[in-house]
């Protein structure tokens, strides 16, 4: 028995569950289709033919080819036809079995004879209307964003903001604003009149949260590794572009700034996490969350050891944690398009690859993804994955950060020189700075140090080849 078959048999001995069931060879096609459809509408699973009874009695099958053919017929009887890997045969204790695997995250919502089924523990049952609607939205069969917003009219849109958006579209700038919003899916015709869609309100509404509760961000910075009594909080509301702007301001204001330099004395990123990576996660959450979930919002929590971004709704369509770097699927293509037009996201990717790359460049742990009971969470950790830790800079060297020193603007090369002096070195020469910036022309190095003398930051001592520079005392 192979290791896979051994694992399968061990699972059978534990009993039926949401993702595992079995039937006898004599089970009708309808029974096979019921199990396949229910698993496809749930988390996927494995259906075995050749085992019977609650205890999982191994019987085997006599006509393997016939069972495989009936499995295929059952899958094709589902609406739309269920396309799954070809059922395989295996042997356990010398008994032949037929095994069908339904992958998680199937692309459609499947019905059988007009019924939408799902797995409820070890049983198959009907999807209730609310769960069916959510599943239709999650798998792209129905789009919440393009539905006409209940109770809203075009007067609930900020037409000045919409006009500014339209004027920036280049080739479409000569088209009327109303026509552009109709083409983009922000307006829809109803009874011959334009009405705002949910996406239209989220992107251009005067007060989006009055119509779509939970369409906001709770941002907080906690003092420790868990939620506690000491924190800074901001409730971020408004349109989605406004939320992204305010969320970035919150990140800039609340991410710790640290200084680390390596052997080359080069300046490292000042924020505890790459700001672009943190911003990308917020953009992804805003663009791809499930806005049909009322009463829950995006949470941006910064802790001492990590940053968490949690958004309502699971991963959309065929996207899973295993394929999140490669799979592309949008729950909200209208929102994604407009945010892309406005320059917030590239067209189109989740940005996950970029986040991985940015964290890797800083030698930080890769982002961690987790599906929760009601949503999806991604975390950035400040823990380095290399033993080659950078050397911390003294408190005095902090004065040389952020492009200025003692209130005077400096460039990165001049900053490297001042960091060098603040590290306990009493003097710096042209050669020293050249070693710190090996790709820079010597004449540029000379001018940089001379400029620091002119700015009364450094004092030049010595003559010609013996000259050097020291910090001028305040």
Q: Looking at the 3D structure of the chain, how many domains does it have?
A: 4
Residues 222 and 196 grouped into a single domain: no
**d(C-alpha 35, C-alpha 46), whole Å:** 9
Residues 175 and 238 in one domain: no
Residues 190, 241, 245: CA angle, nearest 5 degrees: 165
Mean pLDDT, the chain, integer = 86
Buried b (16+ CB within 10 A) or exposed e, 251-276: beeebeebbbbeeebebebebbbbbe
Q: Which helix (H) or strand (E) is 218 found in, with range?
A: strand 217-222
- DSSP-derived secondary structure letter, 365: P
Domain boundary, last residue among 355, 381, 407: 381
Which helix (H) or strand (E) segment holds residue 450: the answer is: helix 442-454
* Cα–Cα nearest to 411, from 435, 433, 431: 433
CATH code assigned at 418: 1.10.10.10
Pair (20, 100) in one structural domain: yes
Q: What is the extent of the structural domain holding 413? A: 394-471
38 and 166 part of one domain: no
CATH number of the CATH domain containing 77:
3.30.950.30
Same domain? For 111 and 166 the reply is no
pLDDT digits (tens, 9 = 90+) for 71-124: 999 999 999 999 999 999 999 999 999 999 999 888 899 999 999 999 999 999
Q: At what angle do helices 333-341 and 275-288 cross, to 10 degrees?
A: 140
Domain assignment present for 332: yes
Q: Please indicate, yes or no, whether residues 101 and 222 belong to a single structural domain of this protein.
A: no
Residue 122 and residue 236 in one domain: no
Query: Left (φ > 0), alpha (ψ -120 to 50) or beta: where does 365 sit?
Result: beta
CA distance 115 to 126: 7
Do 85 and 108 reside in the same domain of the chain? yes
One domain, residues 451 and 352: no
Please list, in sequence order, all residues whose beta carbon lies within 8 angstroms of the beta carbon of residue 81, skipping any fewer than 6 positions away. 75
Are both 321 and 406 inside the same structural domain?
A: no
Q: Is the pLDDT of residue 389 over 50?
A: no
Whole-model pTM?
A: 0.60
Quick one: 280 and 298 in the same domain? yes
Instruction: Determine the pLDDT at residue 251.
Output: 92
In this predicted model, which residue has the larger pLDDT, 439 or 216? 216
Same-domain check for residues 107 and 166 = no
């Amino acid at each position: 028995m192979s290791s896979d078959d051994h694992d399968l048999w061990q699972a059978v001995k534990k009993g039926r569950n949401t993702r595992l069931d079995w039937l006898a060879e004599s089970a009708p096609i309808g029974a096979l289709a019921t199990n396949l459809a229910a698993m496809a509408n749930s988390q996927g699973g494995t259906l075995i033919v050749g085992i019977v009874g609650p205890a999982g009695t191994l019987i085997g099958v006599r006509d393997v080819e016939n069972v495989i053919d009936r499995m295929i017929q059952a899958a094709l009887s589902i609406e739309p036809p269920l396309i799954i890997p070809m059922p395989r045969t295996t042997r356990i204790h010398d008994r032949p079995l037929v095994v069908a695997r339904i992958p998680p995250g199937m692309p459609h919502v499947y019905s059988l004879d007009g019924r939408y089924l799902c797995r409820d523990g070890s049983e198959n049952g009907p999807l209730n209307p609310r769960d069916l609607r959510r599943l239709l939205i999650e798998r792209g069969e129905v789009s919440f964003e393009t539905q006409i917003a209940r109770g809203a009219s075009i007067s609930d849109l900020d037409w000045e903001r919409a006009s500014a958006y339209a004027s920036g579209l280049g080739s479409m700038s000569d088209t009327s604003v109303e026509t552009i919003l109709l083409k983009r899916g922000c307006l829809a015709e109803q009874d011959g009149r334009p009405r705002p869609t949910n996406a239209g309100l989220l992107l251009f509404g005067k007060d989006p949260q009055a119509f779509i509760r939970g369409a906001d961000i709770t941002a907080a910075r906690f003092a420790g590794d868990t939620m506690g009594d000491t924190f800074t909080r901001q409730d971020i509301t408004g349109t989605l572009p406004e939320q992204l702007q305010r969320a970035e301001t919150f990140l800039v204001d609340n991410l710790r700034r640290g200084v680390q330099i390596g052997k080359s004395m080069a300046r490292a990123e000042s924020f505890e996490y790459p700001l672009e990576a943190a911003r990308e996660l917020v953009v992804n959450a805003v663009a791809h969350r499930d806005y049909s979930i009322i009463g829950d919002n995006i949470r941006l929590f910064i802790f001492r050891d990590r940053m968490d971004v949690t958004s309502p709704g699971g991963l959309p369509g065929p996207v899973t944690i295993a394929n999140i770097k490669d799979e592309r699927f949008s729950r909200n293509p209208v929102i994604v398009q407009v945010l892309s037009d406005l320059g917030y996201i590239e067209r189109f990717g989740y940005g996950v690859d970029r986040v991985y790359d940015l964290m890797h460049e800083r030698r930080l742990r890769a982002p961690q993804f987790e599906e929760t009971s009601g949503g999806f969470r991604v975390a950035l950790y400040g823990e380095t994955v290399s033993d080659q830790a950078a050397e911390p800079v003294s408190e005095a060297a902090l004065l040389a950060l952020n492009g200025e020193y003692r209130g005077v603007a400096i460039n990165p090369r001049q900053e490297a020189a001042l960091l060098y002096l603040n590290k306990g070195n009493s003097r710096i020469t042209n050669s020293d700075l050249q070693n710190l910036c090996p790709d820079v022309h010597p004449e540029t190095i000379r001018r940089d140090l001379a400029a620091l003398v002119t700015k009364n930051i450094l004092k030049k001592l010595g003559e010609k080849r013996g000259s050097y520079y020291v910090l001028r005392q305040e």
